[in-house]
Structure 1
């Protein structure tokens, strides 16, 4: 288990905060109950930040006929919908909700070339809000597979997640299962597939990024 690079600043701030509050308590000779409360709070904060930014090693099995899950979390949406940013037609949408306890790394669901990328500043509605996918801060990535099929996936910030990080740009060649981004402290990832794609998951399923097959072409 490694610690993800996106957590270095957060970890440094937490360690500094822990040092300061404990130093102040010692300086003013706080009573034993306050000190123990601060010790427990310090331990909780440190464990929480390490948990948030953990980066487990995963072996990715490339399968061009499969769509790998782009994030850890739970399947909250499987529906036919109108995709209005890029395709402007009906697509099959699958959405994964990432809680603060999930691994927050986002992975390419398919291999190919990035044919479209756009970052959208926006609001921070809760991730399950119906309008979060069009009003919240988000990124949109479209990858064109070797056979010409295009898959769109979208990082969506939520009420707690206030920073989206991405590592891809238009015309990049990407490999299935590799990291394409990170959402600090969770939120949601939507993926839009061609109609007729065979879904391999159900609402409520817990899924693992880069491991769970969520659909097949």
Structure 2
């Protein structure tokens, strides 16, 4: 198999996944010793765990006034909603785009648009199905309030799901990040809400498949031009 073909199927793994792959691999060896069919099942699980934690490189659009999706998955909601109070984005509704991630999606999260992290706010909660509307209010979540270079602000909220049991965010307040830069990860199956800044025009539809760091989610200029 050529290097190019190999890179198509074998993606880099995020360091967060190493111990999980190691645990699954050891369990598979034990299962092989007990009964071969169980071992093959364990091997399949090990491959899936590696696949879950894959962290491929992504290439953002060239236009700087475009926002990209922060997550792989499917757009499940597109509606006005009041952002979480802990983000300090006000009590007026902002246009919310929700991207639901299944356990088969890449779960590394990326910043939609370059800016400075004004606030990082974690809130414990329930573990309802992340595809439900009420998950935005009831589930465990971690939110970022981001200031754009022009002064406008937007929010990104990591929401735990039915299977997810840990939200990771390695971004700190005051940090400046570029568009598409990695800021967090959620284990296993979850959702991200993006609260678009004033004047942004959404360029997605419900049911659309998103690729983190690449798929355009909104036009910051408000012109609704295609990427």
Unaligned 5+ runs, structure 1 = 26-33
Unaligned 5+ runs, structure 2 = 1-10, 221-227
> Does structure 1 residue 170 correspond to structure 2 residue 173?
yes
Report SS of the residue matched to 2:93. strand
Whether the 8 Å CA contact 1:67–1:216 is kept in 2: the answer is yes
CA distance in 2, matches of 1:153, 1:115: 12
Could you say which residue in structure 2 is the equivalent of 1:158? 161
The offset of 1:196, in angstroms, is: 4.0
Q: Which moved more, 1:61-70 or 1:173-182?
A: 61-70
Residues 62, 145 of structure 1: alpha-carbon distance in 2 compared, 3 angstrom cutoff:
farther
**1:1-217 to 2 correspondence within 5 Å?**
1-23=11-33, 25=34, 34-35=35-36, 37-61=37-61, 63-85=63-85, 86-87=88-89, 88-217=91-220
The offset of 1:18, in angstroms, is: 1.1
CA distance in 2, matches of 1:104, 1:78: 21
Residues 84, 189 of structure 1: alpha-carbon distance in 2 compared, 3 angstrom cutoff:
closer
Whether the 8 Å CA contact 1:75–1:203 is kept in 2: the answer is yes
Off by >6 Å, runs of 4+ in structure 1: none
The offset of 1:43, in angstroms, is: 2.4
Structure index of larger Rg: 1
CA distance in 2, matches of 1:188, 1:50: 20
Residues 22, 40 of structure 1: alpha-carbon distance in 2 compared, 3 angstrom cutoff:
closer
CA distance in 1, matches of 2:124, 2:19: 22
CA distance in 2, matches of 1:146, 1:194: 12
Q: Which moved more, 1:81-90 or 1:200-209?
A: 81-90
Q: Which moved more, 1:107-116 or 1:77-86?
A: 77-86
Q: Aligned Cα RMSD in Å?
A: 1.4
The offset of 1:76, in angstroms, is: 0.5
The offset of 1:167, in angstroms, is: 1.2
